[in-house]
């Protein structure tokens, strides 16, 4: 079977880009696989990078990509595939605009937060989010097959689009990279502390100010704790406000923002942490690299978090959306090493059974083969 993936970028460590790479690199052992993109950081014979004059211009690339003439050169390749997988806008519109290929087109929908969950973002950013939601729905309606990466998104698709979808866990773990048996080089500023780790964008809807407030409450009970925040500072004004909060609370030495960390370095942080925590107000799927290292997670019971965290078994889901309630979850785990180990082991077992990319690639291949044969 000849399988194509289309995505506007293939950036190492970026969420969807990583999912595509991990699945495609495994599928090519049994199938003829090619990834078509305009901007790639990967060096691989299975990736075809299409020349695109505006790939560094975020506005043109993110909004007008499908209508730029250079994308038409990509469309010449579509008919040679048995199946094509696309994810979100702008790449998911390319197979349908201006006319579609006869190839089986599977659209993966990741869902999206309602406007009320976006936080204090600018008007043009909210406008862009509305554009993405609109175009994603068009792609879903035109698709031959619609994939949901977790049970929550399957329900979200039905409620928002009125469509049925195939649920396949996609946002998995590379257990060779995130290998808890490996002796990782220690991180100096994490030594000697109970470390709370957050990995993700520094953005308003991630609710990091609540995480800081919860950490302050935790520190009143346990002094030798640190909060490590790893991720891009996507919203500079928001980041500056967080720095003001730290200075006001006197937590500058206890809360460390590392900025973006390379994909290869991330396992060191997960290995060195004791608890993974996120106060995010929305997650289409809560990534589980912490489970690969046998570490428990704490999160609010929002979005798809309950698909990853099974409350009281591999982590803690906090019902009440307050810093005090979240702190109680942190205190419970930070004060009980044995409980952390038990929950972490359960998380590892579940992730190994469901989120190993080797398992995911096989499920994805079976889905395409069955869909094409039925068609």
pLDDT at 74 over 90: no
Q: Is residue 178 part of a domain?
A: no
Reported for 281-284, long-range contacts at CB under 8 A and 24+ positions apart, including other chains, are 281/113, 281/117, 281/119, 281/205, 281/206, 281/207, 281/321, 282/113, 282/114, 282/117, 282/205, 284/110, 284/111, 284/112, 284/149, 284/150, 284/152, 284/153, 284/156
pLDDT of residue 116: 55
Residue 334 token pair: 């930070």
- Residue 292 falls inside a structural domain: yes
Domain of 103: which CATH number? 3.40.50.2000
Q: Same domain, yes or no, for 210 and 98?
A: no
Given a cut of 80, whether residue 71 has pLDDT beyond it is no
pLDDT higher than 60, residue 61: no
Helix axes 208-221, 323-334, angle to 10 degrees: 50
Q: Are 38 and 52 in contact (CB under 8 A)?
A: yes
Neighbours of 96 (CB within 10 A): 18
Is residue 179 in a domain? Answer: no
Q: Per-residue confidence at 96, pLDDT binned at 50, 70, 90?
A: confident
Let me know if residue 180 belongs to a domain.
no
Of the candidates 358, 369, 362, 286, the residue with the CA atom closest to the CA atom of residue 22: 358
Same domain, 204 and 109: no
Burial label, 333 (beta-carbon count in 10 A; 0-12, 13-18, 19+): buried
Residue 345: domain span: 188-354
Task: Collapse the DSSP code of 219 into the 3-class scheme (helix H, G, I; strand E, B; otherwise coil) and give the result.
Answer: helix
Q: Which residue in 293, 137, 76, 273 sits closest to 193, CA to CA?
A: 273
Domain count, the chain: 2
Mean pLDDT of the region 331-339: 98
Q: Is the pLDDT of residue 229 over 70?
A: yes
For residue 15, is pLDDT > 90? no
Q: Is the pLDDT of residue 83 over 60?
A: yes
Cis upstream peptide for 98 (omega within 30°): yes
**The dihedral of CA 367, 363, 310, 21: what is its sign?**
negative
- The predicted model scores a pTM of 0.88
Indicate the average pLDDT of the chain: 90
Residue 205 sits in the same domain as residue 104 = no
CA-wise closest residue to 211 among 219, 315, 14: 219
Is 141 within the bounds of a domain? yes
Say whether both 342 and 362 belong to one domain: no
Handedness of CA 210, 211, 212, 216 (dihedral sign): positive
Task: Read off the pLDDT of each residue in 221-234 and give the average, rounded to a whole number.
Answer: 95
pLDDT tens string 201-220: 998 989 999 999 999 999 99
């Amino acid at each position: 079977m000849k399988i194509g993936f289309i995505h506007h970028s293939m950036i190492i460590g970026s969420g969807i880009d990583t999912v595509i790479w991990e699945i495609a690199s495994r599928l090519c052992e049994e199938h003829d696989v090619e990834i078509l993109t305009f901007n790639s950081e990967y060096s691989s014979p299975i990736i075809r990078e299409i020349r695109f004059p505006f790939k560094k211009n975020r506005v043109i690339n993110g909004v007008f990509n499908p209508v730029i003439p250079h994308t038409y050169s990509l469309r010449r390749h579509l008919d040679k595939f048995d199946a094509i997988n696309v994810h979100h806008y702008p790449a998911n519109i390319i197979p349908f605009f201006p006319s579609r290929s006869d190839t089986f087109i599977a659209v993966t929908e990741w869902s999206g937060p309602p406007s009320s969950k976006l936080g204090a973002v600018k008007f043009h950013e909210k406008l862009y989010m509305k554009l993405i939601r609109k175009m994603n729905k068009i792609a879903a309606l035109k698709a031959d097959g619609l994939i949901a990466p977790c049970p929550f998104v399957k329900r979200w698709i039905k409620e928002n689009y009125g469509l049925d979808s195939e649920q396949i866990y996609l946002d998995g773990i590379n257990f060779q990279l995130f290998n808890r048996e490996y002796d990782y080089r220690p991180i100096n500023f994490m030594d000697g502390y109970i470390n709370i780790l957050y990995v993700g964008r520094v953005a308003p809807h991630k609710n990091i100010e609540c995480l800081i407030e919860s950490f302050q409450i935790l520190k009143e009970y346990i002094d030798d704790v640190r909060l490590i925040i790893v991720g891009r500072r996507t919203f500079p004004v928001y980041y500056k406000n967080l720095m003001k909060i730290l200075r006001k609370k006197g937590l500058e030495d206890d809360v460390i923002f590392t900025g973006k960390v390379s994909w290869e370095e991330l396992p060191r942080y997960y290995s060195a942490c004791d608890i993974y925590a996120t106060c995010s107000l929305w997650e289409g799927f809560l990534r589980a690299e912490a489970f690969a290292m046998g570490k428990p997670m704490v999160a609010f019971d929002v979005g798809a978090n309950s698909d990853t965290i099974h409350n009281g078994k591999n982590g803690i889901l906090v019902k009440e959306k307050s810093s005090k309630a979240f702190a109680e979850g942190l205190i419970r785990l930070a004060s009980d090493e044995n409980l952390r180990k038990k929950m972490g082991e359960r998380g590892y077992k579940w992730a190994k059974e469901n989120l190993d990319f080797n398992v995911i690639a096989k499920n994805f291949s079976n889905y395409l083969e069955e869909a094409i044969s039925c068609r």
